[in-house]
Amino acid sequence: MKQLCLSVLFVFFITLITKAAPGDVHIAIETRQTALVIRVDKDQSPTLVHLGSKLRNAAEYAAIPARGKRGEDYTDIYNSVYTPAGSRNLLEPAIQVTHADGNPSLDLKYIRHESQSMADGVVLTKVYLKDPQYPFEVTLYYKAYQNEDVIEQWSTIRHTEKKSITLHKYASANLYIPAQNYYLTHFHGDWANEMNPSEIPLTEGIKILDSKLGTRADLFQPPSFLVSLNKPAEEEQGEVIAGTLSWSGNYQLAFEVDPLHNLRIIPGINPYASAYSLAPGTEFTTPAFLFTYSDKGKGGASRSLHRWARKHRIPQGEGNRLTLLNNWEATYFDFNEEKLSALFKDGKKLGVDLFLLDDGWFGNKYPRNNDRAGLGDWQENVKKLPHGLGYLVKEAENAGIKFGIWLEPEMVSPKSELYEKHPDWVIKLANRSEYYFRNQLVLDLSNPKVQDFVYGVVNDLMTKNPTLGFIKWDCNAVIYNAFSATIQNQSNLYVDYVQGLYKVLDRLRAKYPTLPMMLCSGGGGRVDYGALKYFTEYWPSDNTDAQERIFIQWNYSYFFPSIASCNHVTDWGKQPIKFRTDVAMMGKLGYDIVVSKLTEEELTFSQQALKTYEGIKNIIWKGDLYRLASPYTNDVASSMYVSESRDRAVWFTYLVNSRYKAGSQAPIKLNGLDPAKNYRIRELNVYPGTTSRINTSTTTYSGNYLMAIGFNPQVDTRRTSVVLEVNEVK
């Protein structure tokens, strides 16, 4: 057995060590379609000479001219793979350091590289760099996911200087791309208004996207972007790079069009207030930057990221998810055992898998009856829940559904026993007045004792209630007055906080690998692939108005697969329940409504919709997404999900314009089908008492026809949302 394991390991981990040879060395990091090529010249300076389509013959990478150099590069390192500051560099650096002796310069020379083939078509390439004057080393890591066309890049930094050094900047990657023009799409917003896209041409100079919020870091903008080369991004055409940083803290994405009109992209942790002190003999690992290059526009890029995330990043990314009924908008803080028991029965009647008890169940000295008290005191409130959580879990199970719970374990209310007992566990400045975000403060997760506490909160809950089926992990405050009572170097705090959080989540995931956990941060304040390594799903926004959600979900879909998007039917907005349900179905369906207030028809519709969802959810969650008509340029938003074998698709179209005659006036061209297959189209989620205009026809269409000519889902002001199933006819 041992021998078998060793030989399997041998097959998977073939290590190729390549010594720097005289002359240029070429290191090709390749996926199925893409290549990133590093050239090392005789000076041992590593530069990036190609990022784009993979060549059939890798030997030809050596022939690529230094085409980025459309003029004079005074330094020869404008296209450095990891630009060191302070020596001959003139542009935005990837790394900036002050050595132990106070010297502020760095040079990085190529030492060697090696590649390892791992399981599932993943190849890890390491490029070792060193400063010729100092015992200071950087290793660049490139993990190439062959089948998904995604590259994950990060670096490690270590030194054996006499004392600690200061890292002023320590980016994750440093890309270099020559094109005629560059268009950056970035996303911005605020609470309940997440992910508004802006596309701008990049001109000479630097555009910085960043966060300085600490915890709820993505509140104003996420660390995710699209760069389109030569022309504005299109859905299914053109060269697009989609990039996203796996980091749940302060980040900086720098886009610099250099003096030669080439684009430099430098993503990483935000250097703001984060000069990092690194002791000799220790290693700093940057977060990973993930990117994909597509020559099939935004659609190609997002399909690659989705495939990658399902297979390699999100826990149970290719598994199942639970439908649920949440009580937040139904009760807010006002509930008791009786009310909850009734809700369990409602959930069962509706047909969901789980009941999720939201905020308000804890705190005794300072009961959590509003958002001004109780965070940190994770004991059941004895007035609301005299029999404790264990009783509720059983009650739910007796009603035939699972039970899940809301937590916000990184936070503390000033009015809490936790704050009284451990004021030194709280991030705050002793000589400044406390400043609150949603009436609360952040616990200092750089402190190992606080990490143990947060781990303990979840672990105790799970130990006492082993059948607890779901956790919603919230994070509603940013960091103000950043100061830790225990940390030595205050400027390490923002980074150590996130690393502390990941340590807690690593421990929890090691013990509870399959527990479904929702990532929430007052909505989408923390939607990034650093956090999504631990969470099975995320809450895109507290804004659940279905009309708004069409846009919010549309924009998240560039980066994150629908299996991870928690979409709840709620009472926000004025749309009929059919519209709300159809929109919520484009992801992981849930409910946050008062079931007992639904009319009979609404209830029947919802029960049927949940049954229908059961039959199509795997296509929505795991199929390829094609965005067919954008709500930004059409009366309708239209997207479809196609199964891997292209025999089934689910197609959603919604009206987003309420003007007279607004609707899908013409056929919409489908995508992703097999041109040679024949399909029949059937309408789903038909509201009780109405008839489908589509189901009356028995016509079959070839995939070729549906993709070249299209089909009109007949969305108009009387049919504001239409869900169609496209099934192969054999």
Cite the annotated binding site by residue number.
191, 358-359, 438, 472-476, 520, 542
Closest to 584 (Cα-Cα) out of 615, 558, 617:
617
By CB under 6 A, is residue 523 in contact with ligand GLA?
Answer: yes
> Which residue, 358 or 496, has its beta carbon nearer to ligand GLA?
358
Binding-site entries for substrate: 191, 358-359, 438, 472-476, 520, 542
Determine contact, residues 662/716, Cβ cutoff 8 Å. yes
> C-beta of 334: minimal distance to ligand GLA in Å?
13
Provide the residue type at 474 as one letter. D
Contact flag: residue 194 with ligand GLA (CB under 6 A):
no
What is the residue type of 264?
A: R
From the CB of 368, what's the least distance to ligand GLA, in Å? 9
Distance CA 110, CA 48 (A): 13
Does residue 358 bind ligand GLA (CB under 6 A)?
yes
Contact between 291 and ligand GLA by CB under 6 A: the answer reads: no
**Any contact of residue 377 with ligand GLA (CB under 6 A)?**
no
Interface positions, 295-334, toward ligand GLA (CB under 6 A)? 328
The full DSSP string for 437-465 is BTTBEEB-TTSHHHHHHHHHHHHHHHHH-
Q: How far is the CB of 605 from ligand GLA (least distance, A)?
A: 25
Active site residue 506: no
The least CB distance from residue 215 to ligand GLA, in Å, is: 13
24 is catalytic: no
DSSP state of 685: S
Long-range contacts of range 448-451, CB-CB < 8 Å, 24 or more positions apart? 448/500, 449/425, 450/425, 450/500, 451/500, 451/503, 451/504
Q: Which stretch binds ligand GLA (CB under 6 A): 193-201, 248-256, 276-284, 519-527?
A: 519-527
Among the listed ranges 216-224, 344-352, 507-515, 520-528, the one in contact with ligand GLA (CB under 6 A) is: 520-528
Contact 38, 81 (CB under 8 A): yes
- # residues contacting ligand GLA (CB under 6 A): 12
Q: Does 189 bind ligand GLA (CB under 6 A)?
A: no
Q: How far is the CB of 357 from ligand GLA (least distance, A)?
A: 10
- Nearer to ligand GLA by C-beta: 592 or 635? 592
144 beta partners: 123, 151
Q: How far is the CB of 358 from ligand GLA (least distance, A)?
A: 5
Give me the residues paired with residue 268 across strands.
Answer: 171, 252
By CB under 6 A, name the one of 476, 547, 612, 638 that touches ligand GLA.
476
Residue 169 vs 384, nearer CB to ligand GLA: 384
Handedness of CA 345, 570, 625, 118 (dihedral sign): negative
Cα angle value 172/205/272 (rounded, 5°) = 45
Instruction: State how beta strands 95-98 and 46-53 pair.
Output: unpaired
Strand residues in 364-479 grouped as ranges (E): 402-407, 411-412, 441-442, 470-473
- Hey, how many other C-beta atoms are within 10 angstroms of the C-beta on 486? 13
Beta carbons within 10 angstroms of residue 453's beta carbon: 19
Closest CB to ligand GLA among residues 107, 474: 474
Closest CA to 501 of 569, 437, 441, 445: 445
The stretch near ligand GLA (CB under 6 A) out of 34-42, 169-177, 517-525, 665-673 is: 517-525
- The single residue among 151, 340, 350, 520 that binds ligand GLA, judged by CB under 6 A, is 520
Exposure of 658 by Cβ count < 10 A (0-12 exposed, 13-18 middle, 19+ buried)?
Answer: exposed
Closest CB 141 distance from ligand GLA, rounded Å: 34
In the 8-state DSSP scheme, what is residue 86?
Answer: S
Contact 543, 523 (CB under 8 A): yes
Taking the least distance from each CB to ligand GLA, the nearer of 351 and 524 is: 524
User: Counting Cβ atoms within 10 Å, is residue 562 exposed (0-12), middle (13-18) or buried (19+)?
Assistant: buried
Distance CA 280, CA 286 (A): 17
CB-closest chain residue to ligand GLA: 359
**Does 359 sit near ligand GLA (CB under 6 A)?**
yes
Q: How far is the CB of 471 from ligand GLA (least distance, A)?
A: 12
Say whether residue 555 binds ligand GLA (CB under 6 A): no
Tell whether residue 474 is a contact of ligand GLA (CB under 6 A): yes
Measured from the CB atom, the residue of 52 and 523 that comes closer to ligand GLA is 523
Interface positions, 445-464, toward ligand GLA (CB under 6 A): none
What is the rounded CA–CA span in Å between residue 529 and residue 535?
9
Name which position in 522, 530, 587, 703 contacts ligand GLA (CB under 6 A).
Answer: 522
Which residue out of 377, 444, 474, 528 is catalytically annotated?
A: 474
d(CA 140, CA 629): 40
Tokens standing for residue 414: 């000033």
Q: Which of residues 247-286 bind ligand GLA (CB under 6 A)?
A: none
Annotate each residue in 525-544 with x if it binds ligand GLA (CB under 6 A) or - if it does not, as one string: --------------x--x--
Binding mask 671-710 for ligand GLA (x = CB under 6 A): ----------------------------------------
* Residue of 78, 145, 176, 406 that binds ligand GLA (CB under 6 A): 406
- Taking the C-alpha atoms of 622, 623, 628 and 634 in order, what is their torsion angle to the nearest 10 degrees? -30
Pairing, β 470-473 against β 517-519:
parallel
Spot the catalytic one: 258, 542, 545, 582.
542
Closest CA to 447 of 496, 482, 405, 492: 496
The stretch among 97-105, 207-215, 518-526, 687-695 that binds ligand GLA (CB under 6 A) is 518-526
Nearer residue to ligand GLA within complex by CB, 217 or 226: 217
Q: Toward ligand GLA, which CB reaches closer, 66 or 192?
A: 192
Cα separation, 49 vs 177, whole angstroms: 8
The contact set with ligand GLA (CB under 6 A) reads 328, 358-359, 371, 406, 474, 476, 520, 522-523, 539, 542
Q: Which residues are catalytic?
A: 474, 542
